[in-house]
């Protein structure tokens, strides 16, 4: 994600998306650093998933008010509060049982 952020700042975007040149550079760097054969489409899908997950987590954190415990990195909400929150942010349901993946890298 840090590499993608670097590319956004230095290679630019097309509207809200990265340019083709940016994706190509990220892809080459990813393959070189991780020794994993992945397509640009797979990389974009992973990026979009991580971006959506982080956005959902941030939204839930705002909706939870003081229900987020930073020490254990979980949401401690009552059943009634979860019901209220999930009416607004249905995708936040996954955070009832899991933490934000790679939180230390994005927060």
pLDDT of residue 16: 65
For residues 100 and 57, the answer to whether their CB atoms sit within 8 Å is yes
pLDDT of residue 7: 57
If the chain, 107 residues long, is cut into consecutive pieces of 10 residues, what is the mean pLDDT of each piece? 61 67 87 89 91 93 89 91 94 92 73
pLDDT of residue 101: 82
Rounded CA gap, 91 and 53, in Å? 9
Question: E strands along the chain, which residues?
Answer: 13-14, 17-18, 68-69, 74-75
Residue 22: name the closest of 1, 46, 6 by CA.
6
The partner residues of 74 in beta bridges, in order of sequence, read 69
Q: Is 100 helix (H, G, I), strand (E, B) or coil?
A: coil
Model pTM? 0.75
Token pair for residue 67? Answer: 């229900």
């Amino acid at each position: 994600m840090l590499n993608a952020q670097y590319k956004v700042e230095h290679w630019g975007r097309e509207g809200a998306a990265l340019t083709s040149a940016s994706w190509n550079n990220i892809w080459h760097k990813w393959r070189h650093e991780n020794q994993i054969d992945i397509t640009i489409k797979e990389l974009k899908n992973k990026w979009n998933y991580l971006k959506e997950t982080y956005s959902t987590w941030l939204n839930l954190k705002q909706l939870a008010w003081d229900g987020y415990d930073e020490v254990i990195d979980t949401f401690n909400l009552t059943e009634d509060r979860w019901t209220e929150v999930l009416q607004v942010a249905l995708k936040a349901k996954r955070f009832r049982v899991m933490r934000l993946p790679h939180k230390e890298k994005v927060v």
